[in-house]
Protein backbone atom coordinates (compact mmCIF):
# COMPACT_ATOMS: atom_id res chain seq x y z
CA UNK A 1 0.00 0.00 0.00
CA UNK A 2 2.78 2.41 0.93
CA UNK A 3 4.73 1.45 -2.18
CA UNK A 4 1.70 2.08 -4.42
CA UNK A 5 1.17 5.50 -2.86
CA UNK A 6 4.87 6.22 -3.38
CA UNK A 7 4.59 5.17 -7.03
CA UNK A 8 1.71 7.58 -7.68
CA UNK A 9 3.60 10.47 -6.04
CA UNK A 10 6.87 9.77 -7.84
CA UNK A 11 5.00 9.61 -11.16
CA UNK A 12 3.56 13.04 -10.41
CA UNK A 13 7.04 14.36 -9.55
CA UNK A 14 8.55 12.96 -12.75
CA UNK A 15 5.70 14.42 -14.77
CA UNK A 16 6.39 17.82 -13.23
CA UNK A 17 10.09 17.42 -14.05
CA UNK A 18 9.34 16.59 -17.69
CA UNK A 19 6.89 19.51 -17.85
CA UNK A 20 9.50 21.84 -16.36
CA UNK A 21 12.14 20.66 -18.85
CA UNK A 22 9.74 21.22 -21.74
CA UNK A 23 8.82 24.63 -20.37
CA UNK A 24 12.52 25.56 -20.09
CA UNK A 25 13.34 24.35 -23.61
CA UNK A 26 10.46 26.31 -25.10
CA UNK A 27 11.37 29.43 -23.10
CA UNK A 28 15.01 29.46 -24.22
CA UNK A 29 13.87 28.83 -27.80
CA UNK A 30 11.58 31.85 -27.73
CA UNK A 31 13.59 34.31 -25.61
CA UNK A 32 17.09 33.52 -26.90
CA UNK A 33 16.17 32.37 -30.40
CA UNK A 34 18.24 29.18 -30.01
CA UNK A 35 18.10 25.91 -31.92
CA UNK A 36 15.99 23.22 -30.27
CA UNK A 37 19.05 21.21 -29.19
CA UNK A 38 20.75 24.30 -27.72
CA UNK A 39 17.51 25.29 -25.98
CA UNK A 40 17.18 21.80 -24.50
CA UNK A 41 20.83 21.96 -23.37
CA UNK A 42 20.30 25.32 -21.65
CA UNK A 43 17.14 24.08 -19.92
CA UNK A 44 18.95 20.97 -18.70
CA UNK A 45 21.99 22.74 -17.23
CA UNK A 46 19.75 25.37 -15.64
CA UNK A 47 17.39 22.89 -13.99
CA UNK A 48 20.28 20.70 -12.82
CA UNK A 49 22.25 23.78 -11.66
CA UNK A 50 25.54 22.28 -12.90
CA UNK A 51 26.81 25.67 -14.06
CA UNK A 52 28.13 24.76 -17.49
CA UNK A 53 28.86 27.56 -20.01
CA UNK A 54 25.91 29.07 -21.88
CA UNK A 55 25.79 28.53 -25.61
CA UNK A 56 25.06 32.22 -26.16
CA UNK A 57 24.85 35.51 -24.30
CA UNK A 58 21.55 35.94 -22.45
CA UNK A 59 19.26 38.89 -22.97
CA UNK A 60 17.46 40.56 -20.08
CA UNK A 61 14.32 38.58 -20.92
CA UNK A 62 16.36 35.36 -20.99
CA UNK A 63 17.92 36.14 -17.60
CA UNK A 64 14.50 36.76 -16.02
CA UNK A 65 13.22 33.53 -17.54
CA UNK A 66 16.32 31.70 -16.24
CA UNK A 67 15.68 32.98 -12.69
CA UNK A 68 12.07 31.77 -12.85
CA UNK A 69 13.18 28.39 -14.21
CA UNK A 70 15.77 27.95 -11.43
CA UNK A 71 13.19 28.76 -8.74
CA UNK A 72 10.72 26.29 -10.27
CA UNK A 73 13.42 23.62 -10.53
CA UNK A 74 14.40 24.08 -6.88
CA UNK A 75 10.75 23.69 -5.85
CA UNK A 76 10.37 20.54 -7.97
CA UNK A 77 13.63 19.07 -6.65
CA UNK A 78 12.58 19.75 -3.06
CA UNK A 79 9.26 18.02 -3.75
CA UNK A 80 10.99 14.92 -5.14
CA UNK A 81 13.39 14.78 -2.18
CA UNK A 82 10.46 15.09 0.26
CA UNK A 83 8.63 12.21 -1.48
CA UNK A 84 11.65 9.90 -1.32
CA UNK A 85 12.33 10.82 2.33
CA UNK A 86 8.69 10.30 3.25
CA UNK A 87 8.71 6.88 1.60
CA UNK A 88 11.89 5.76 3.38
CA UNK A 89 10.62 6.94 6.76
CA UNK A 90 7.13 5.51 6.20
CA UNK A 91 8.49 2.16 5.05
CA UNK A 92 10.74 1.95 8.10
CA UNK A 93 7.85 2.91 10.41
CA UNK A 94 5.50 0.45 8.71
CA UNK A 95 7.94 -2.43 9.12
CA UNK A 96 8.50 -1.53 12.77
CA UNK A 97 4.76 -1.32 13.37
CA UNK A 98 4.19 -4.66 11.65
CA UNK A 99 7.03 -6.24 13.64
CA UNK A 100 5.61 -4.93 16.94
CA UNK A 101 2.15 -6.21 16.05
CA UNK A 102 3.50 -9.68 15.27
CA UNK A 103 5.55 -9.70 18.50
CA UNK A 104 2.44 -8.82 20.51
CA UNK A 105 0.47 -11.64 18.89
CA UNK A 106 3.29 -14.11 19.55
CA UNK A 107 3.55 -13.04 23.21
CA UNK A 108 -0.09 -14.06 23.71
CA UNK A 109 0.50 -17.60 22.43
CA UNK A 110 0.81 -20.62 24.72
CA UNK A 111 1.16 -24.30 23.83
CA UNK A 112 1.97 -23.33 20.26
CA UNK A 113 4.39 -24.93 17.80
CA UNK A 114 7.61 -23.28 16.63
CA UNK A 115 8.86 -24.17 13.15
CA UNK A 116 12.51 -23.35 12.50
CA UNK A 117 13.06 -23.05 8.77
CA UNK A 118 10.47 -22.39 6.07
CA UNK A 119 11.84 -24.58 3.31
CA UNK A 120 10.06 -27.59 1.84
CA UNK A 121 9.77 -29.47 5.14
CA UNK A 122 8.83 -26.36 7.12
CA UNK A 123 6.18 -25.36 4.61
CA UNK A 124 4.56 -28.79 4.73
CA UNK A 125 4.67 -28.78 8.53
CA UNK A 126 2.89 -25.41 8.68
CA UNK A 127 0.28 -26.58 6.18
CA UNK A 128 -0.51 -29.68 8.23
CA UNK A 129 -0.60 -27.79 11.54
CA UNK A 130 -2.99 -25.23 10.07
CA UNK A 131 -5.30 -28.06 8.98
CA UNK A 132 -5.49 -29.02 12.66
CA UNK A 133 -6.00 -25.37 13.69
CA UNK A 134 -2.84 -25.47 15.78
CA UNK A 135 -1.17 -22.08 16.42
CA UNK A 136 2.38 -21.89 15.13
CA UNK A 137 5.27 -19.45 14.74
CA UNK A 138 7.79 -19.69 11.90
CA UNK A 139 11.42 -18.63 12.25
CA UNK A 140 13.30 -18.06 9.01
CA UNK A 141 16.03 -15.78 7.66
CA UNK A 142 14.41 -15.38 4.22
CA UNK A 143 12.41 -12.15 4.40
CA UNK A 144 10.91 -12.59 0.93
CA UNK A 145 9.52 -16.03 1.74
CA UNK A 146 8.03 -14.76 4.97
CA UNK A 147 6.53 -11.67 3.34
CA UNK A 148 4.71 -13.96 0.90
CA UNK A 149 2.94 -15.54 3.89
CA UNK A 150 1.98 -12.20 5.46
CA UNK A 151 -1.41 -12.40 7.13
CA UNK A 152 -1.45 -16.21 7.05
CA UNK A 153 1.10 -17.20 9.70
CA UNK A 154 2.99 -15.59 12.53
CA UNK A 155 6.68 -15.36 11.80
CA UNK A 156 9.98 -13.98 13.02
CA UNK A 157 12.67 -12.98 10.55
CA UNK A 158 15.91 -14.18 12.08
CA UNK A 159 18.25 -17.07 12.72
CA UNK A 160 16.79 -19.83 14.89
CA UNK A 161 20.31 -20.60 16.15
CA UNK A 162 20.18 -17.27 18.00
CA UNK A 163 18.78 -17.79 21.52
CA UNK A 164 17.12 -14.35 21.52
CA UNK A 165 15.12 -15.32 18.44
CA UNK A 166 13.91 -18.52 20.10
CA UNK A 167 12.84 -16.56 23.18
CA UNK A 168 10.95 -14.07 20.99
CA UNK A 169 9.15 -17.03 19.41
CA UNK A 170 8.00 -18.11 22.88
CA UNK A 171 10.09 -21.25 23.27
CA UNK A 172 9.44 -21.24 27.04
CA UNK A 173 5.66 -21.32 26.47
CA UNK A 174 5.54 -23.57 23.40
CA UNK A 175 4.37 -27.17 23.42
CA UNK A 176 6.49 -28.34 20.49
CA UNK A 177 9.33 -27.28 18.22
CA UNK A 178 10.13 -28.50 14.71
CA UNK A 179 13.71 -28.08 13.45
CA UNK A 180 13.55 -28.03 9.66
CA UNK A 181 16.76 -26.17 8.91
CA UNK A 182 18.83 -27.42 5.94
CA UNK A 183 22.05 -27.97 7.95
CA UNK A 184 22.24 -30.67 10.61
CA UNK A 185 24.68 -28.57 12.65
CA UNK A 186 22.14 -25.73 12.84
CA UNK A 187 19.40 -28.15 13.89
CA UNK A 188 21.72 -29.52 16.57
CA UNK A 189 22.34 -26.04 18.02
CA UNK A 190 18.61 -25.26 18.01
CA UNK A 191 17.76 -28.53 19.77
CA UNK A 192 20.40 -27.89 22.46
CA UNK A 193 19.16 -24.34 23.06
CA UNK A 194 15.46 -25.23 23.05
CA UNK A 195 15.95 -28.12 25.47
CA UNK A 196 17.84 -25.81 27.79
CA UNK A 197 14.84 -23.46 27.98
CA UNK A 198 12.14 -26.13 28.31
CA UNK A 199 12.43 -29.69 29.59
CA UNK A 200 8.83 -30.56 28.62
CA UNK A 201 9.03 -29.18 25.08
CA UNK A 202 8.45 -31.82 22.40
CA UNK A 203 11.25 -31.41 19.86
CA UNK A 204 11.19 -32.93 16.39
CA UNK A 205 14.18 -32.43 14.12
CA UNK A 206 15.06 -33.34 10.57
CA UNK A 207 18.46 -34.77 9.69
CA UNK A 208 20.22 -35.16 6.37
CA UNK A 209 22.85 -37.65 7.53
CA UNK A 210 22.47 -40.88 9.50
CA UNK A 211 25.45 -39.82 11.61
CA UNK A 212 23.43 -36.86 12.92
CA UNK A 213 20.61 -39.04 14.24
CA UNK A 214 22.24 -40.05 17.53
CA UNK A 215 23.72 -36.60 18.10
CA UNK A 216 20.31 -34.96 17.80
CA UNK A 217 18.76 -37.54 20.13
CA UNK A 218 21.50 -36.95 22.70
CA UNK A 219 21.02 -33.19 22.36
CA UNK A 220 17.39 -33.59 23.39
CA UNK A 221 15.29 -34.25 20.29
CA UNK A 222 12.31 -36.50 20.97
CA UNK A 223 12.10 -37.58 17.34
CA UNK A 224 14.56 -37.32 14.47
CA UNK A 225 13.25 -37.59 10.92
CA UNK A 226 15.39 -38.55 7.93
CA UNK A 227 13.33 -37.31 4.95
CA UNK A 228 15.48 -39.05 2.33
CA UNK A 229 15.28 -42.38 4.16
CA UNK A 230 11.52 -42.11 4.66
CA UNK A 231 11.04 -41.16 1.02
CA UNK A 232 13.00 -44.17 -0.17
CA UNK A 233 11.12 -46.56 2.13
CA UNK A 234 7.82 -45.08 1.01
CA UNK A 235 8.63 -45.58 -2.67
CA UNK A 236 9.73 -49.17 -2.03
CA UNK A 237 6.52 -49.84 -0.08
CA UNK A 238 4.48 -48.57 -3.03
CA UNK A 239 5.97 -51.45 -5.02
CA UNK A 240 5.61 -54.16 -2.34
CA UNK A 241 2.19 -53.21 -0.90
CA UNK A 242 0.85 -50.42 -3.17
CA UNK A 243 -2.83 -50.62 -2.20
CA UNK A 244 -2.06 -50.58 1.52
CA UNK A 245 0.22 -47.52 1.21
CA UNK A 246 -2.35 -45.69 -0.93
CA UNK A 247 -4.98 -46.41 1.71
CA UNK A 248 -2.77 -45.18 4.55
CA UNK A 249 -1.81 -42.04 2.61
CA UNK A 250 -5.43 -41.18 1.91
CA UNK A 251 -6.43 -42.04 5.45
CA UNK A 252 -4.12 -39.40 6.90
CA UNK A 253 -4.97 -36.68 4.39
CA UNK A 254 -7.53 -33.98 5.06
CA UNK A 255 -11.07 -34.31 3.72
CA UNK A 256 -12.18 -30.69 3.52
CA UNK A 257 -11.56 -29.24 6.96
CA UNK A 258 -11.49 -32.55 8.86
CA UNK A 259 -8.88 -35.31 9.32
CA UNK A 260 -9.54 -39.02 8.93
CA UNK A 261 -7.33 -39.93 11.90
CA UNK A 262 -7.12 -38.02 15.15
CA UNK A 263 -5.40 -38.40 18.50
CA UNK A 264 -7.69 -37.52 21.41
CA UNK A 265 -6.03 -37.07 24.84
CA UNK A 266 -7.39 -38.38 28.11
CA UNK A 267 -8.28 -34.96 29.54
CA UNK A 268 -10.55 -34.29 26.55
CA UNK A 269 -12.36 -37.62 26.70
CA UNK A 270 -12.53 -37.68 30.51
CA UNK A 271 -12.66 -33.99 31.50
CA UNK A 272 -13.95 -34.81 34.98
CA UNK A 273 -10.95 -37.08 35.65
CA UNK A 274 -13.18 -40.14 36.13
CA UNK A 275 -11.55 -43.25 34.62
CA UNK A 276 -13.65 -44.94 31.96
CA UNK A 277 -13.43 -48.05 29.85
CA UNK A 278 -13.30 -47.66 26.08
CA UNK A 279 -16.68 -49.35 25.72
CA UNK A 280 -18.23 -46.89 28.20
CA UNK A 281 -17.23 -43.97 25.97
CA UNK A 282 -19.64 -45.25 23.27
CA UNK A 283 -17.59 -43.52 20.59
CA UNK A 284 -18.68 -45.96 17.89
CA UNK A 285 -22.36 -45.67 18.82
CA UNK A 286 -22.39 -41.87 19.11
CA UNK A 287 -20.15 -40.88 16.19
CA UNK A 288 -19.49 -43.92 14.02
CA UNK A 289 -15.72 -43.57 14.57
CA UNK A 290 -13.54 -46.51 15.51
CA UNK A 291 -10.83 -46.67 18.17
CA UNK A 292 -7.83 -48.16 16.35
CA UNK A 293 -5.08 -47.43 18.85
CA UNK A 294 -4.25 -46.60 22.45
CA UNK A 295 -1.12 -44.82 23.66
CA UNK A 296 -0.13 -45.55 27.25
CA UNK A 297 1.37 -42.86 29.51
CA UNK A 298 4.79 -44.50 29.08
CA UNK A 299 4.56 -44.11 25.29
CA UNK A 300 3.73 -47.74 24.48
CA UNK A 301 1.13 -48.27 21.75
CA UNK A 302 -1.65 -50.83 21.64
CA UNK A 303 -3.21 -51.54 18.24
CA UNK A 304 -6.96 -52.18 18.18
CA UNK A 305 -7.33 -52.09 22.01
CA UNK A 306 -9.92 -54.19 23.80
CA UNK A 307 -13.20 -52.49 24.71
CA UNK A 308 -12.67 -53.45 28.37
CA UNK A 309 -9.45 -51.42 28.54
CA UNK A 310 -9.59 -48.61 31.11
CA UNK A 311 -8.04 -45.31 30.07
CA UNK A 312 -5.20 -43.99 32.20
CA UNK A 313 -4.31 -40.39 32.84
CA UNK A 314 -1.89 -38.94 30.27
CA UNK A 315 -3.00 -41.57 27.75
CA UNK A 316 -4.41 -40.98 24.25
CA UNK A 317 -6.85 -42.68 21.92
CA UNK A 318 -6.18 -42.98 18.18
CA UNK A 319 -9.49 -42.72 16.36
CA UNK A 320 -10.38 -43.39 12.72
CA UNK A 321 -13.43 -42.13 10.89
CA UNK A 322 -14.83 -40.48 7.80
CA UNK A 323 -15.11 -36.73 7.41
CA UNK A 324 -18.70 -36.71 8.64
CA UNK A 325 -17.93 -39.01 11.56
CA UNK A 326 -14.95 -36.90 12.63
CA UNK A 327 -17.10 -33.79 12.66
CA UNK A 328 -19.49 -35.56 15.04
CA UNK A 329 -16.54 -36.61 17.20
CA UNK A 330 -15.14 -33.08 17.37
CA UNK A 331 -18.56 -31.69 18.18
CA UNK A 332 -19.06 -34.29 20.91
CA UNK A 333 -15.74 -33.60 22.63
CA UNK A 334 -15.12 -30.02 21.45
CA UNK A 335 -11.67 -31.24 20.41
CA UNK A 336 -11.13 -28.66 17.63
Q: Considering the domain 110-231, what is its CATH architecture?
A: 3-Layer(aba) Sandwich (3.40)
What whole-number distance in Å separates Cα of residue 20 and Cα of residue 7?
Answer: 20
| Topology (CATH) of 252-333 | Alpha-Beta Plaits (3.30.70)
CATH topology of domain 2-104: Helix Hairpins (1.10.287)
pLDDT tens per residue across all 336 residues of the chain: 545 555 677 777 778 888 888 888 888 888 877 888 888 888 888 877 776 667 677 777 778 888 888 888 888 878 777 777 766 666 555 566 677 788 888 999 999 999 999 988 898 898 888 887 889 999 998 765 566 565 578 888 899 999 999 999 999 999 999 999 999 999 999 999 999 999 999 999 999 888 899 999 999 999 999 887 777 777 787 788 787 777 777 665 554 445 688 888 888 888 888 888 888 888 888 889 999 999 988 888 899 999 899 888 889 999 988 888 888 888 888 765
How far is 79 from 65, CA to CA, in rounded Å? 21
* pTM (two decimals): 0.59
From the list 22, 14, 24, 27, the residue with the least C-alpha distance to 76 is 14
Give the residue extent of every domain in the chain. 2-104, 110-231, 252-333
Q: Which residues contact 278 (CB under 8 A, 6 or more apart)?
A: 291, 294, 305, 306, 307, 308, 309, 311, 317
Amino acid sequence: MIFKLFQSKIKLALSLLVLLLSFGTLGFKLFSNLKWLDAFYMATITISTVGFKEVTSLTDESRIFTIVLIILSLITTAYIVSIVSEYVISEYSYKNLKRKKLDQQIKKLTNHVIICGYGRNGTQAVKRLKSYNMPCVVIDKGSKVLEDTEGEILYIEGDAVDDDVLIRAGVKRASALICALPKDTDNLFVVLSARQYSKDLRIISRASEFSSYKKLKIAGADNVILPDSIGGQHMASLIVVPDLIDFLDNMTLAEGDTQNVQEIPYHVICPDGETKKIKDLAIREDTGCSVIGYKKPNGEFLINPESELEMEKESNLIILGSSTQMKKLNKLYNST
